[in-house]
Amino acid sequence: MQNVDTLIHARWIIPIEPENAVYEHHSLVIYAGKILDLLPTEQAKQRYQSDDTIELNTHALTAGFVNAHTHAAMTLMRGIADDLPLMDWLQNHIWPLEQKWMDEEFVRDGTDLAIAEMLRGGTTCFNDMYFFPEVAAKQAIQRGIRASLGLIVIDFPTVWAQHSGEYIEKGVSLYHELLAAELISTPFAPHAPYTVSDEPLERINELAQGFNLPVHIHLHETAHEVESAFAEKGQRPMQRLYDLGLVNDSLIAVHATQLNDEEIQLLSDVGASIVHCPESNLKLASGFCPVAKCLAAGVNVALGTDGAASNNDLDMLGEMRTAALLGKAVSKDASAIPAMTALRMATINGAKALGLEHKIGSLEIGKAADVIAIDLSELETQPLYCPVSQIVYATSRQQVSDVWVAGQQLLKSRQLTTFDMDELKAIATKWQARLSEKTYDH
């Protein structure tokens, strides 16, 4: 009998790889933060023992969700300005609030609330784009979640940096500082083609190639973005990025609601990734990403919630459901984006986009133990004919019972292990009071 750190006996295990596998009465064995074994429970009980043995008789275990695009700190602005056209929302609400309030404390508190919400919903890794990424890194490490923290670059001054040169400089030094942090990676994150000019984009591309980092950027979010770029520069933003050398296998193109067939083929040819954010795209009326077409062309499509200010949650189960439902309607094919595809978009495809597929995104021996358990015994997921269908089409995030990141249990029977809930609620209350003040500033 081999002693191991954690031994989980589960009713179902959905390993993501191999594709379409669903194991019944299997066990996951965790040792030194990694998956040591995955085998039938009967055999696991003969081979392994652990002081930390968990029986999950009505649960499915699967890989933790990868939220491939968010702005974690913006959780503080959840629902503060809804049902508004995009530019009114940004210019008259979000940006003035950020200008007034965004600082280290804002990012620390907002990121903390976001991490807590994400863990409670089964997200074990998030790809962030926001200011003060060093503060977000500190919170992610403290709470134990895996994070891909964008080294943000934008032409405009903020309290974090004054000009694109300073953003890049700060980014490079943060990249070096965080190289040894096991849970953290640092893609470059130029905000968008319309907010970052050619020179910094070229510099980012050189650095990203040199450091082997992904480049995370909003791209073709709306028809307006594409049309106004074309009117101004005579080319679509993706063409401009291509000319600057950024359309390659490091590209994480977020939103991509406006894609012609040539662009889809190009993304496939170079091995770039798209992050589909269906709820944000719907809420801001940005357009419909042609997900089924992209997948058929071989593009890697991951899934993101976007920030809570435009969603208004960080719920990857909900996002998966919306992606599966919407993908069928947009492609006029009820068999498009089946449940397993949606689950892969939320796990292994996210890992691929972030360049982390060697480490996370599936329950395979040798990968990090980023694992979640979902309780399917609730009335709302009964009767049960297929656990994957149930997870994607009927399960609420409240049914996520347990979460591990690199073998550390961060959610235990619905309780967060690295947070104080009273503290979190006090943080929310504090910012609610502060940000509500803006009503009186107008």
Q: Which residues bind a second copy (CB under 8 A)?
A: 76, 78-80, 82-86, 89, 113, 116-117, 120-121, 279, 281-288, 308, 311-313, 315, 318, 322, 324-326, 328-329, 331-339, 377, 379-380, 382-386, 389-390, 393-394, 396-398, 421, 424-425, 428-429, 431-432, 435-436
In a 3-state reduction of DSSP, which class is residue 98?
A: helix
Q: State in angstroms the smallest separation of the CB of 394 from a second copy.
A: 5
Which regions of 261-381 does DSSP assign to beta strands (E)?
A: 273-276, 300-303, 371-375
Measured from the CB atom, the residue of 141 and 435 that comes closer to a second copy is 435
**Any idea what DSSP says for residue 367?**
S
**Long-range Cβ contacts of 409-414 (<8 Å, 24+ apart):** 409/6, 410/119, 410/124, 410/143, 410/144, 410/145, 411/119, 411/120, 414/120
Minimum distance, C-beta of residue 103 to a second copy, in the bound complex (Å): 17
- Give the integer Cα–Cα distance in Å for 406 and 408: 6
> Cα separation of 134 and 116, whole Å?
18
Q: Which is nearer to a second copy, 51 or 420 (CB)?
A: 420
What's the min distance (Å) between Cβ of 174 and a second copy? 28
Q: Which is nearer to a second copy, 29 or 339 (CB)?
A: 339
CB 439, min distance to a second copy, A: 9
CB 125, CB 356: distance < 8 Å: yes
Return the SS3 of 295.
helix
Using CA atoms, how far apart are residues 274 and 272, in angstroms rounded to an integer? Answer: 7
Nearer to a second copy, 105 or 313 (CB): 313
Residue nearer to a second copy on the CB measure, 196 or 391: 391
Least distance (Å) from a second copy to the CB of residue 242? 28
Three-class SS state of 155: coil
Minimum distance between the CB of residue 108 and a second copy, rounded to whole angstroms? 15
Kindly tell me which of 46 and 436 has the beta carbon lying closer to a second copy.
436
Choice between 48 and 130, CB closer to a second copy: 130
Smallest distance from the beta carbon of 32 to a second copy, in angstroms? Answer: 31
Q: With 0-12 CB in 10 A as exposed, 13-18 as middle and 19+ as buried, what is 22?
A: middle
| 48-49 and 2-3 strand pairing | parallel
